[in-house]
Amino acid sequence: MISVVNTLLLKWHLLRTVVKAGANPAKNLGGVYRCIAERWVFTLAMFVVGFAVFEFSALPLLLGFVAIQVVLLFGNMKQA
């Protein structure tokens, strides 16, 4: 779930930045930095929730996260 929401957050930022910044490189770069920061904070917060609140084991949680990240990365390779 962390990976899927992370990817949806990335897509939302991409679409929002295109609409707001257009062809302005400085605004585009600002959108990229904001997206990176928000994704890091969200990912770390969700791992803390998974470890502390739900008391998930570390190895399955991390392996699941990595596996879904790989699937999401290589699942979109055929799009132009």
Q: Residue 79 — pLDDT band, cuts 50, 70, 90? A: low
Residue pair 16/52 in contact (Cβ under 8 Å)? The answer is no
Domain carrying residue 12: 1-78
State the total domains in the chain.
1
Q: Residue 24 — pLDDT band, cuts 50, 70, 90? A: confident
Residue pair 65/49 in contact (Cβ under 8 Å)? The answer is no
Q: What is the pLDDT of residue 14?
A: 86
pLDDT tens digits for range 38-78: 999 999 999 999 999 999 999 999 999 999 888 888 877 76
Task: Give the DSSP per-residue string, the chain.
Answer: -HHHHHHHHHHHHHHHHHHHHTT-HHHHHHHHHHHHHHHHHHHHHHHHIIIIIS---HHHHHHHHHHHHHHHHHHTTT--
